[in-house]
Amino acid sequence: MLSYHATCSKVEVDRLKAAKIPLSSELGIDEFHFNDFSLDNDAMITASLRMFLELGVVQKFKIDYEVLCRWLLTVRKNYRTVAYHNWRHAFNVSQCMFVMITTATFQDVLSDAEILALMVGCLCHDLDHRGTNNAFQAKTGSALALLYGTSATLEHHHFNHAVMILQSEGHNIFANLSSKEYSNMMQLLKQAILSTDLTLHFERRTKFFEHVLSGEFSWAVEGHREVLRSMLMTACDLGAVTRPWEVSKQVAELVTSEFFEQGDRERSELKLTPAAIFDRNRKDELPALQLEWIDGICKPLYQALLKLNRKLTPMVDGIDGNRKKWQELCLSYQQTRRASVSSQSNDPGQNTKSSDDAETSELPKKAEKTAQLEALPKLQTGSLTVPRDFIKKKDLYGDE
């Protein structure tokens, strides 16, 4: 059970219960190009209520309104104040799912139980995240790694934390489900949260791509539906890459900030050299790494989903626009570094280079290679293309 300090207060619940809930259009949550930073902490709670109400799940599953208010407030309270994997991220992931279900009309093919499980899964998928990834748990032999093992460590913790909240007095939004419905709901919820582990995503996406591109995907096959639900969860978890450029760039910087903090700990506590994306000494490589991230993980997923549902076009357009911006930054950095190296080579006083300078001088080459990813040999999978050298790079990013 949750401690007193991990649950919301009666005053908070009463205030929310009496609050007027704005319409989706007033909140802006019915748009693909939602601004992830447009709502404050309280507005994100009322917007969450609006999403549940508009999806019809409150009425369908006879969810007590006060219980729903209490559950939402306590879920928010159980996110830590880390740079990225916090309550705002959880809300933005759920908004992305909401717009895919409504505006993109996945509600026409998903069951009410699937919709509720996906929405709850989005809000709970990073509960109690500590700002470090699964690989870090394994490297440090953390309490979570000892408790859950090294496979989807954090995702198992997020799910168990979600269950703990549901089992706390006055928090069970599934209380009016039958025994069979409850068992099915918890299974759907567990699948949803565990599917946000990118390692598991890589294990499943190849089969999903094959089904979609061959035209063999069937809504009547439960195995196909389960994989699709997991793809939707990942698409929403990574949804910031489809947002307007200024929003997407700000999110990338928040992710990087959290990664750098982990990298600092790896260097100081474990005496390890962090991978590039966790190493603040290599922060100038962010545009190049973002290009790899988009080309290797994000774009193939959204392209596959687009083939199933053409109403997802705004997401693919968003990612294409952001990719161009990252490529511009990558090429700009490349030109700046070339100018810097050229200036140093023409300076007679620069006869020697430190090891740091030597390492830095290699960065333009790395940036140029990434900026030209589209020209690399690729695995052709119908309309999807995945860079060959990216298949094993999932370990670089760990979990999301």
End-to-end distance of the chain based on CA atoms, in angstroms? 27
- At 129, list the tokens: 């995240």
Q: Tell me if residue 89 is catalytic.
A: no
Torsion (CA) 52, 58, 59, 60 in degrees, nearest 10: 90
| Rounded CA separation 378/370 (Å) | 14
* Displacement of CA 176 from its chain's centroid (Å): 31
Residue of 5, 33, 85, 201 with catalytic role: 85
| Rounded CA separation 378/385 (Å) | 6
| Rounded CA separation 33/20 (Å) | 25
β-pairing verdict for 384-387 and 378-381: antiparallel
Please list the active-site residues.
85
